């Protein structure tokens, strides 16, 4: 058996128990770390033009401020999730926090493009350790059932809030304190969380120490790095570049090789029987679609609000800021919905709701539409948050503690790939129409269709998969 890290308050509970003081502190540390990483995804976006002028980064090179973070944060998630299972989740979580904090300081005081991009890459590496270990510590500390659903609800709410608040806060801080303050804020977050974590978090790992699957680690990490690089580059230059096509082909080849390696390995990095679980396969499909399609909606609506309606960056942030209020409401509601109808049905209804509300955004116009955009994206985000929480519950339910790092690594890898893949795949359609507005409507229509179809596919795939569905 794996180390027992269940909270005493949860054992034998027939209804959602309350969280005692220590439990709340553990949840605070884990959620604060996840919030910090989510904030990092968006807080720098509106600061990129100012940052580029200050450091001498050309417009074409600005994408590397995002790509330098996305590459390691997505590429190393599965590997770090498995290392945490084998050698200690708490240990790797603390190491990730330390690297993230030091990297944030380096990015804050960067003196040239190379030092800044190095800081961003190290932030991504730290995030790749924090996210799967933080999630697996949460799922092994809070046992399966109402208490875990509640913890995942709070975590999912803060994840969504991190993206939203980052967009608003990034604009305010850049205008008042300069772009460096956005990176300094992340360093301050680390200073709050890091001293508390060693005293509160329990250690957990698998009781055995099987040999790490090195061929699997090399192929999956290389494949993910190549695919994320290709998609991130395509977001800026399109899919026609030779480097994009070659890197994408290399990435896909490595991922195919990874599947072949895992089928023959005595101690695989990713258990193929786990991937064949319907809850894991279709749960992650729902996660991939909800993340990729919602990130695309935010991207094209940002273009619409600023370039069609003429809103400022701060005004655009305020429109999206309504999402924050809705996220708090949804975060409290979704675990109750899961408790009533099950995680599987919640995931399906959330995907279908997200698709319907994205379709409603097709009513935006050339002279007005900010109100519709704010209301529509907030309602779609409420369903999006429902999908985030319920797909996490779906994928991790029924998985033994010794494989929780792997399961949560798959959850967070899906999240990162989803955030990365949506914009390059659909965002380019925004410029294909006779006007930006028509391009935005084209993206929204395709986006809504993909989410609705995915909802139906997930419904069919999860039918009768487990008792919690």
Radius of gyration for the alpha carbons in the chain, expressed in angstroms and rounded: 21
88: left (phi over 0), alpha (psi -120 to 50) or beta: left
Q: Are 305 and 316 in contact (CB under 8 A)?
A: yes
Concatenate the DSSP letters of all residues of 335-348 into one string: HHHHHHH-HHHHHH
Q: Note the pLDDT of residue 280.
A: 87
Exposure of 70 in the CB half-sphere (CA atoms within 13 A): 25
Write down the H helix ranges in 201-277.
214-237, 242-264, 272-276
The C-alpha atoms of residue 317 and residue 370 are separated, in whole angstroms, by 12
Q: Note the pLDDT of residue 313.
A: 65
Residues 6+ apart with CB under 8 A from 222: 75, 250, 251, 254
pLDDT, tens digit (0-9, with 9 covering 90-100), for 23-60: 778 878 888 888 888 777 777 766 766 777 788 876 55
Q: Note the pLDDT of residue 456.
A: 96
pLDDT, tens digit (0-9, with 9 covering 90-100), for 214-234: 787 788 888 878 887 787 777
Exposure of 214 in the CB half-sphere (CA atoms within 13 A): 1
Predicted confidence (pLDDT) at residue 364 exceeds the cutoff of 80: yes
Q: How far is CA 292 from CA 169, 183, 372, 429, in A?
A: 23, 25, 22, 15
Q: How confident is the model at residue 361 (pLDDT cuts 50, 70, 90)?
A: very high
Q: Are 10 and 209 in contact (CB under 8 A)?
A: no
Q: Note the pLDDT of residue 208.
A: 61
Q: How far apart are the first and last CA of the chain?
A: 26
% of the chain surpassing 90 pLDDT: 16
105-114 own/partner pairs: CB under 8 Å, 24+ apart:
105/184, 105/187, 107/183, 108/180, 108/183, 108/184, 108/187, 109/180, 110/55, 112/55, 112/56, 113/55, 113/56, 113/57, 113/61
Concatenate the DSSP letters of all residues of 193-207 into one string: HHHHHHHHPPP---S
Q: Note the pLDDT of residue 432.
A: 65
Among 16, 14, 5, smallest CA distance to 336 is for 16
pLDDT, tens digit (0-9, with 9 covering 90-100), for 413-444: 787 777 767 776 776 677 666 788 888 899 99
Q: Note the pLDDT of residue 262.
A: 77
DSSP 3-state of 380: helix
Mean of pLDDT over the chain: 79
Predicted confidence (pLDDT) at residue 141 exceeds the cutoff of 50: yes
The C-alpha atoms of residue 153 and residue 407 are separated, in whole angstroms, by 18
Torsion angle of alpha carbons 132, 134, 136, 142, nearest 10°?
-160
Other C-beta atoms closer than 10 Å to the C-beta of 338 total 25
Q: Note the pLDDT of residue 123.
A: 92
Lowest mean pLDDT among 133-142, 279-288, 387-396: 133-142
Q: Note the pLDDT of residue 419.
A: 72
Residues comprising the chain, all counted: 469
Predicted confidence (pLDDT) at residue 325 exceeds the cutoff of 60: yes
Among 300, 328, 308, smallest CA distance to 427 is for 300
pLDDT, tens digit (0-9, with 9 covering 90-100), for 88-125: 788 888 999 899 999 999 999 988 888 999 999 999 89
Q: Note the pLDDT of residue 409.
A: 67
* Sole residue written with tokens 């439990």: 23
Torsion angle of alpha carbons 275, 281, 285, 287, nearest 10°?
-80
Region 81-85 average pLDDT: 77
Q: What share of the chain is helix, strand, coil (3-state, %, to 5)?
A: 80, 0, 20
Predicted confidence (pLDDT) at residue 7 exceeds the cutoff of 50: no
């Amino acid at each position: 058996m794996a180390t027992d890290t269940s909270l005493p308050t949860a054992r034998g509970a027939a209804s959602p128990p309350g969280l005692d003081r220590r439990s709340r502190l553990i949840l605070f540390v884990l959620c604060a770390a996840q919030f910090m990483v989510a904030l990092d995804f968006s807080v720098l976006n509106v600061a990129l033009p100012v940052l580029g002028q200050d450091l001498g980064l050309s417009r074409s090179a600005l994408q590397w401020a995002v790509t330098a973070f996305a590459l390691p944060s997505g590429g190393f998630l599965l590997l770090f999730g498995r290392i945490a299972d084998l050698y200690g989740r708490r240990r790797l979580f603390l190491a990730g926090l330390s690297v993230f904090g030091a990297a944030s300081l380096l990015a804050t005081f960067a003196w040239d493009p190379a030092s800044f991009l190095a800081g961003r890459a190290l932030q991504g590496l730290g995030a790749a350790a924090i996210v799967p270990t933080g999630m697996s510590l949460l799922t092994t500390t809070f046992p399966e059932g109402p208490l875990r659903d509640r913890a995942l609800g709070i975590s999912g709410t803060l994840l969504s809030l991190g993206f939203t608040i980052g967009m608003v806060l990034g604009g305010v801080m850049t205008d008042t304190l300069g772009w460096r303050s956005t990176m300094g804020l992340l360093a301050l977050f680390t200073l709050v969380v890091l001293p508390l974590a060693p005293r509160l978090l329990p250690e957990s790992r698998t009781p055995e120490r099987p040999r790490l699957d090195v061929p699997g680690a090399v192929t999956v990490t290389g494949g993910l790095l190549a695919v994320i690089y290709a998609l991130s580059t395509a977001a800026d230059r399109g899919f026609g570049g030779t480097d994009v096509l070659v890197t994408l082909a290399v990435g896909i080849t490595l991922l195919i090789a990874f599947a072949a390696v895992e089928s023959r390995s005595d101690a695989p990095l990713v258990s193929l029987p786990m991937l064949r679980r319907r809850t894991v396969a279709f749960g992650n499909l729902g996660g991939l679609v909800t993340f990729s399609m919602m990130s695309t909606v935010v991207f094209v609506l940002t273009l619409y609000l600023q370039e069609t309606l003429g809103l400022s960056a701060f005004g655009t942030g305020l429109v999206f800021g309504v999402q924050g209020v809705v996220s708090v409401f949804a975060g409290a509601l979704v675990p109750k919905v899961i408790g009533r109808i099950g995680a599987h049905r919640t995931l399906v209804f959330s995907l279908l709701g997200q698709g319907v509300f994205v379709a409603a955004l097709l009513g935006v116009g050339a002279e007005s539409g900010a109100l519709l955009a704010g209301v529509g994206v907030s309602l779609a985000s409420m369903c999006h948050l429902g999908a985030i929480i319920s797909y996490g519950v779906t994928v991790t339910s029924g998985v033994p503690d010794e494989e929780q790092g792997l399961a949560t690594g798959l959850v967070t890898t899906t999240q990162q790939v989803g955030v990365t893949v949506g914009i390059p795949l659909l965002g380019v359609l925004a410029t294909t129409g006779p006007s930006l507005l028509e391009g935005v409507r084209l993206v929204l229509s395709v986006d809504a269709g993909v989410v609705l179809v995915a909802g139906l596919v997930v419904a069919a795939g999860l039918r009768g998969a487990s008792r919690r569905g």
